Structure 1
Amino acid sequence: MVGPLDGVRVIDLASMMSGPWAADILGDQGADVIKVEVPNKGDHVRALQNRHGGMSAMFVNVNRSKRSVTVNLKDPEGVEILKKLVATADVVIQNFRPGVVERLGIGYDDLAAINPRLIYLSMSGFGERGPLAGQRVYDSLIQALTGLTSVQAGSDTERPRLIRTILPDKLSAVVGAQAISAALFARERNGAGQHIRLSMLEGVLSFLWASDMGAYTFMDKPTTIEQGGSFIDLIYETADGHITIATNSNGEWQGMCQALGHPEWIEDERFSTPVGRSENINARLEMIQSVVIDDTNEHWLKMLDENDVPAAPILTRAEVIEHPQVLAAEIIVQNDHPDAGPLRQARVPARFLGTPPTPPRGAPRLGQHNIEVLSELGIDTEALGDLVARNIVGNEEAAAAATV
Structure 2
Amino acid sequence: MSGPLSGVRVLDLTGVVSGPFATMFLADQGADVLKIEPIDGDITRRSRAPIGKTNEFSALFISSNRGKRSLAVDIKHETGREILTRLAGQADVLVQNFRPGTMERLGLGPDQLRARHPRLIYVSISGVGDSGPYVKKRVYDPIIQGLSGFCDIQSQAVTNRPQMIRTIVCDKTTAVFTAQAVSSALYAREKTGQGDHIQVAMLDTMIAYLWPEGMMQYTVVGAEAASADPNDRPDLVFRTSDGYLTCGTISDSEWRGFCKASGDPELANDARFATPSARSVNATARIHKMQEYIVQHTTTEWLARLDAADVPCAPILRRGEIIHNEQVVARGIIAEFEQPGVGRVRQPKPAARFTVNEATIAGPAPRVGQHSREVLRDLGYSEAAIEQMIEDRAVRAAG
What TM-score does the superposition give when structure 2 sets the normalisation length? 0.96
Question: 2:84 maps to what in 1?
Answer: 82
What are the residue-to-residue correspondences of 1:332-343 with 2, within 5 Å?
Answer: 332-343=334-345
Report Cα offsets for 1:173-201 as digits up to 9, x if no partner. 00000000000000011110000001000
CA distance in 1, matches of 2:260, 2:160: 33
Report the Cα offset of residue 231 of structure 1.
5.6
- 2: CA distance, partners of 1:279 / 1:145: 29
Question: Does the Cα contact within 8 Å between 1:78 and 1:392 map onto a contact in 2?
Answer: yes
Counterpart in the other structure of 1:29: 29
Structure 1 residues 91 and 156: CA distance shift in structure 2, 3 A: farther
1:17 is aligned to: 17
Check the 8 A contact 1:156/1:227 in 2, yes or no.
Answer: no
Matches within 5 A, 1:66-145: 66-145=68-147
In the TM superposition, residue 316 of structure 1 has moved relative to its aligned partner by 0.6
Distance 1:34 1:18 in 2: 16
How far off is 1:388 after superposition? Answer: 1.3
Mark the CA change 1:136 to 1:308 in structure 2 (over 3 Å): closer, same or farther.
same
Distance in 2 of aligned mates of 1:107 and 1:266:
64
TM-aligned CA deviation for residue 212 of structure 1 = 1.2
Task: Decide which moves more: 268-277 or 371-380.
Answer: 268-277
- Contact 1:259-1:304 at 8 Å conserved across structures: yes
Q: Is the 8 A contact 1:156 1:225 kept in 2?
A: no
Q: Cα distance, 1:110 vs. partner?
A: 1.4
Q: Supply the AA of the counterpart residue of 2:377.
A: S
Q: Does structure 2 conserve the Cα–Cα contact (< 8 Å) formed by 1:121 and 1:195?
A: yes
* Equivalence map 1:73-222=2 (5 Å): 73-153=75-155, 158-222=160-224
Give the Cα separation in 2 of the matches to 1:229 and 1:24.
34
Partner SS, residue 154 of structure 2: helix
Q: Is residue 243–residue 297 contact of structure 1 (8 Å, CA) maintained in 2?
A: yes
Cα-to-partner distance string for 1:3-40 (whole Å, 9 max, x where unaligned): 1000000000000000001000000100000000111x
**CA 1:180–1:267: 2 relative to 1, 3 Å:** same
Are the structure 2 counterparts of residues 87 and 70 from structure 1 closer, same or farther at C-alpha, using a change threshold of 3 Å? same
Over 3 Å counting, the alpha-carbon distance change for 1:355 and 1:296 in structure 2 is same
- Structure 1 residue 2: Cα displacement: 1.5
TM-score computed with the length of structure 1 as normaliser: 0.95
- Aligned partners of 2:256, 2:81: CA distance in 1, in Å? 65
Q: Which amino acid aligns with 2:32?
A: D
2:44 maps to amino acid: V
1:381 aligns with 2:383: yes
| Corresponding residue of 2:259 | 257
Note the C-alpha offset of 1:338.
1.8
Aligned residues: 396
Task: Return the alpha-carbon distance in structure 1 between the equivalents of residues 274 and 378 of structure 2.
Answer: 68
**1:38 match:** 38
Q: CA-to-partner distance for each residue in 1:255-275, whole Å, 9 max, x for gaps? A: 111111134322322212223
Which residue of the partner structure matches residue 238 of structure 2? 236
> How far apart, in 2, do the equivalents of 1:286 and 1:210 lie?
26
* Structure 1 residue ranges without an equivalent (≥5): none
CA distance in 1, matches of 2:306, 2:347: 32
Query: Whole-Å Cα distance in 2 between the matches of residues 375 and 163 of structure 1?
Result: 46
Instruction: Tell me, in whole angstroms, the C-alpha distance in 1 between the residues paired with 2:276 and 2:164.
Output: 28
- Superposition CA RMSD, Å: 1.6
Deviates more, 1:49-58 or 1:92-101: 49-58
Deviations 1:135-177 (A, max 9, x none): 0011111111111111112669711111110100000000000
Secondary structure at the residue paired with 1:211? helix
Q: Distance in 2 between matches of 1:26 and 1:151?
A: 31
Counterpart position of 1:4: 4
Provide structure 2 residue ranges, at least 5 long, that are not aligned to the other structure: none
Q: Is the 8 A contact 1:154 1:233 kept in 2?
A: no
Map 1:215-364 onto structure 2 (within 5 A).
215-223=217-225, 227-230=229-232, 232-364=234-366
Structure 1 residues 224 and 201 mapped into 2: Cα distance closer, same or farther (>3 Å)? farther
Give the letter for the 1:45 counterpart. Answer: T
Change (3 A) 1:252 1:5: same
Could you tell me whether the CA contact under 8 Å between 1:239 and 1:293 is conserved in 2? yes
Task: Write the distance in 2 (CA, Å) between the matches of 1:196 and 1:273.
Answer: 46
Partners of 2:264 and 2:231 in 1: CA distance: 24
CA contact (8 A) 1:153 1:231 kept: no
Stretch deviating more after TM superposition (154-163 or 26-35): 154-163
Aligned AA (2:139): V
- What one-letter code is carried by the residue in structure 2 that aligns with 1:205? I
- C-alpha displacement at 1:305, in angstroms? 0.5
User: 207-216 or 15-24: which moved more?
Assistant: 207-216
- Cα 1:105–1:32 shift into 2, 3 Å: same
Supply the distance in 1 between the matched residues of 2:334 and 2:50 (Cα, whole angstroms).
Answer: 19
On the 8 A contact 1:154/1:231 being kept in 2, the answer is no
Q: Closer, same or farther in 2 for the Cα pair 1:12/1:363, shift >3 Å?
A: same
Q: Are the equivalent residues in 2 in contact too, given 1:155–1:229 (CA < 8 A)?
A: no
Distance 2:63 2:343 in 1: 13
Contact map agreement 1:257 1:265 (CA 8 A) in 2? yes
Taking the aligned partners of 1:344 and 1:69, their CA distance within structure 2 comes to: 25
The Cα shift of 1:88 comes to 0.5
One-letter identity of the residue aligned with 1:92: L
